């Protein structure tokens, strides 16, 4: 840095966070950085902030080096100063984004302090864009004040403080919670004209990738709570929503704004920006007559075969891919060399756990046969059961998922819920009963690949129990395998797991739960699935081998999926 260069000495020109020209370098006489007051804009000690995705964030660092190369060990006081200054700086940028105008909104950050946390919160009712580090409170996890604002000890803590604590207590890994008064968030809570829906669902937007573990074509579900006269009165509802939606990292407040959190302040901010983007998109889409909760009929990257000329009219779910994961010639020699396929029982594994769709059975069977069966046979099924009272429960599900005006027919409710892939207990019950009738009457036969039965027989002969784990209910699983294209396979299966009995398939704890229920170590189980997220979760849980199932019509693998051993037939698991 050249002290004679005027441009470099001008804030904002020629240098970035932390790379201060000597004239601005906030070193104290003992060589430490003074990151406060007028220096608050240049609090990054490195030339840029650390990015999300590793644990080594700016806030987790206790040792830093300045742009001039001086190595500095950060004291807790300096860490506190830096967090205060960071909150002030973030509040200013949130104000500029329209998220913290009129003094509302804000952010809290907490940092580890011995075995406890130090929680930093802004004061209430001040211009958020004018805060300085000196205005910030420092609290412990019992909400005792450790340090009042240096600038004015009589300030009040932000009215959001009880809500920051709800998140910190219910989400132990969260270290930052942001509250926005973004207009996009407010409009998004009004997409349901009855204003009674308990969540908002959005799918098929690229920016969903910025929210938790969502893929482009996943469904993002954000709970909605009703507003209250004062911010602190939202705490109980916020806690209930966070508990009811264990996977959520955000909650909307109707006609008010959004709460969003993350395991670092950078992750929190990225998620808030991504959510705000998709909320804005949802509002626009609704105005264009597009329902943001309904997958597009075409144009998704899962629909990647270009040999059809009917893309515009054919729903994506009706596409059958011809190759394996989009590979026309199934040459797996490289996979087999790179990834050793586990053999049971030869390699010491004690149980086999199988996914259904894309593994034991084709995705097309579920998408093209089972679900259409419900739509096609609904009226006939209902006519034969005039006394069954499905409507109230279905209406309630539709209403709680933003259905607007009350729907008066079962058919409308079913269409609404199925179009949006809403996991509704009432719908599942109705579908289950319809499938049962279909299987009983011989109209339905559960598809299984040709290798399924010989593999099951091999495993039974070699004393390896085989279990099924699917998001479809245990009842639906038993119907499929009990009435399969290869006859009744239930005697060859040792048991079944679904979401109620084991938890979500993308959660690593679910695989531990299954292992515990089987009286096994996770390392003794082989799990096969075509879903990358599930394999990643299983591996995280310590499953002995997580194996990628490659079947015609499965979605293309990314680099993540290619990191798992791949099989093209379940018979590849049978050891010699
Ligand atoms: C116009 S702000 C009303 C209170 C509110 O919604 C909020 O977010 C809290 O603001 P505070 O100034 O108490 O941080
Ligand atoms: Zn607010």
Sheet with 566-567, side-by-side order of all strands: 495-497, 466-469, 351-354, 525-529, 545-549, 566-567
* Residue 102 Cα: closest atom of ligand 1: 1
Q: Report the alpha-carbon distance of residue 248 to residue 201 in Å, rounded.
A: 12
Separation of CA 111 and ligand 2 centre (Å):
23
**pLDDT tens digits in sequence order for the chain, 576 residues long:** 333 344 333 333 333 333 344 444 444 444 444 444 443 333 333 333 332 233 344 444 444 444 444 445 678 888 899 999 999 999 999 999 999 999 999 999 999 998 899 999 999 999 999 999 999 999 999 999 999 999 999 999 999 999 999 999 999 999 999 999 999 999 999 999 889 889 999 999 999 999 987 889 889 999 999 999 999 999 999 999 999 888 899 999 999 999 999 999 999 999 999 999 999 999 999 999 999 998 887 766 554 433 333 333 222 232 333 333 333 333 444 544 545 677 888 788 999 999 999 999 999 998 899 999 999 999 999 999 888 888 999 999 998 888 777 888 999 999 999 999 888 889 999 999 999 999 999 999 999 998 999 899 989 999 999 999 998 889 999 999 999 999 999 999 999 999 999 999 999 999 999 999 999 999 999 999 999 999 999 999 999 999 999 888 888 888 888 888 888 889 888 876
Report field, pTM of the whole predicted structure over 0.80:
no
Q: Which candidate in 7, 77, 206, 380 is catalytic?
A: 206
204 known member of a binding site? no
108, 120, 121, 125: residue to mutate for ligand 1 pocket, most atoms within 8 A of CB: 125
Quote the ligand 2 centre to 104 CA distance (angstroms).
5
What residue owns the CA closest to ligand 1's atom 14? Answer: 158
160 assigned to a ligand binding site: yes
Render 461-484 in DSSP notation, one character per residue.
Answer: HTT--EEEE-SS-HHHHHHHHHTB
Alpha carbon nearest to ligand 1 atom 11, residue = 124
CB of 266 within 8 A of CB of 185?
no
Q: Which ligand is located closest to the Cα atom of residue 185?
A: 2
Q: Using an 8 Å Cβ cutoff, are 264 and 186 in contact?
A: no
Query: Could you identify the atom of ligand 1 that is nearest to the CA of residue 122?
Result: 14
The burial of 95, by beta-carbon neighbours within 10 Å (0-12 exposed, 13-18 middle, 19 or more buried), is given as: buried
> Over the range 273-286, which residues count as b (16 or more CB within 10 Å of their CB) and which as e?
bbbbbbbbbbbebb
Contact between 66 and 47 under an 8 Å Cβ cutoff? The reply is no
486 Cα–ligand 2 center, Å: 59
* Pocket lining for ligand 1, CB < 6 angstroms: 102-106, 122, 124-125, 158-160, 179, 231
Cβ neighbours of residue 128 closer than 8 Å, sequence gap 6 or more = 91, 92, 94, 95, 100, 101, 103, 104, 105, 106, 122
| Tokens 């096969």, residue located | 528
How close are the terminal C-alpha atoms of the chain, in Å?
69
Among protein residues, the one with the nearest Cα to ligand 1's atom 4 is 104
ipTM of the complex model: 0.97
Tell me the ligand closest to 104's alpha carbon: 1
Query: How remote is the CA of residue 196 from the centroid of ligand 1, in Å?
Result: 24
Q: How far is the CA of 103 from the centre of ligand 2 (A)?
A: 9
Best residue among 183, 231, 258 to mutate for probing ligand 1's pocket (most ligand atoms within 8 Å of CB) is: 231
Q: Whose Cα sits closest to atom 2 in ligand 1? A: 104
* Rounded CA separation 480/426 (Å): 20
Domains and CATH numbers, the chain: 22-52+72-158 (no CATH), 179-297+312-337 (3.40.225.10), 344-361+446-575 (3.40.50.1000), 379-440 (no CATH)
CB atoms within 10 A of CB 451: 18
Ligand whose nearest atom lies closest to the CA of 161: 1
Is 181 annotated to bind a ligand? Reply is: yes
496 is in an annotated binding site: no
**What does the alpha-carbon distance between residue 14 and residue 441 come to, in Å, rounded to a whole number?**
76
Active-site residue, 206 included: yes
């Amino acid at each position: 840095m050249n002290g004679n260069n005027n441009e470099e000495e001008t804030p904002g020109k020629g240098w970035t966070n932390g790379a201060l020209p000597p004239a601005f370098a906030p070193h104290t006489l003992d060589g430490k950085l003074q990151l406060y007051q007028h220096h608050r804009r240049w609090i990054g000690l490195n030339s840029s902030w650390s990015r999300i995705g590793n644990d080594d964030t700016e806030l987790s660092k206790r040792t830093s080096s300045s742009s001039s190369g001086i190595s500095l060990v950060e004291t807790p006081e300096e860490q506190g100063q830096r967090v205060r200054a960071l909150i002030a700086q973030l509040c200013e940028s949130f104000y500029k984004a329209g998220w913290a105008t009129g003094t509302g909104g804000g952010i809290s950050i907490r940092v580890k302090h011995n075995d406890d946390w130090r929680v930093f919160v802004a004061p209430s009712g001040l211009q958020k864009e004018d805060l300085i580090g000196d205005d910030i409170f420092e609290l412990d996890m019992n909400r005792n004040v450790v340090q009042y604002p240096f600038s004015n000890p009589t300030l009040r803590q932000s009215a959001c403080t009880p809500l920051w604590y709800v998140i910190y207590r219910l989400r132990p890994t969260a270290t930052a919670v942001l509250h926005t008064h973004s207009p996009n968030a407010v409009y998004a809570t009004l997409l349901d004209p009855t204003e009674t829906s308990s969540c908002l669902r959005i799918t098929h937007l690229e920016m969903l990738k910025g929210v938790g573990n969502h893929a482009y074509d996943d469904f993002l579900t954000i709970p909605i709570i009703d507003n209250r006269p004062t911010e602190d009165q939202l705490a109980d509802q916020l806690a209930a929503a966070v508990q009811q939606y264990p996977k959520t990292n955000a909650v909307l407040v109707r006609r008010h704004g959004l709460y969003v959190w993350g395991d670092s302040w950078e992750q929190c901010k990225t998620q808030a920006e991504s959510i705000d983007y998709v909320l804005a998109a949802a509002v626009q889409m609704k105005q264009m007559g597009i329902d943001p909760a309904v997958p597009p009929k075409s144009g998704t990257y899962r629909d990647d075969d270009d040999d059809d000329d009917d893309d515009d009219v054919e729903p994506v779910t009706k596409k059958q891919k011809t190759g394996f994961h989009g590979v026309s010639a199934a040459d797996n020699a490289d996979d087999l060399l790179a990834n050793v396929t586990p053999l049971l029982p030869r390699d010491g594994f004690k149980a086999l756990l199988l996914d259904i769709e894309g593994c034991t059975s084709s995705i097309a069977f579920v998408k093209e046969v089972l679900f259409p069966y419900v739509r096609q046979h609904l009226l006939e099924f209902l006519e034969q059961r005039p006394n069954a009272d499905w409507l109230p429960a279905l209406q309630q599900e539709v209403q709680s998922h933003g259905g607007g005006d009350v729907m008066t027919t079962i058919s409308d409710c079913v269409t609404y819920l199925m179009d949006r892939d809403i996991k509704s207990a009432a719908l599942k019950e109705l579908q289950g009963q319809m499938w049962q009738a279909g299987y009983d009457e011989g109209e339905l036969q559960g598809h299984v690949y040709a290798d399924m039965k010989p593999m099951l027989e091999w495993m039974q002969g070699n004393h390896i129990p085989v279990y099924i784990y699917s998001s479809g209910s245990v009842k639906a699983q038993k119907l499929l395998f009990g009435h399969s294209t290869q006859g009744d396979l239930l005697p060859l299966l040792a048991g079944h797991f679904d979401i109620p009995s084991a938890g979500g398939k993308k959660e690593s704890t679910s695989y531990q739960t299954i292992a515990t229920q089987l009286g096994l170590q996770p390392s003794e189980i082989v799990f096969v699935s075509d879903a990358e997220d599930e394999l990643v979760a299983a591996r995280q849980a310590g499953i002995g081998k997580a194996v990628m199932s490659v079947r015609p019509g499965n979605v293309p693998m990314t680099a993540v999926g290619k990191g798992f051993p791949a099989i093209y037939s379940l018979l590849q698991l049978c050891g010699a």
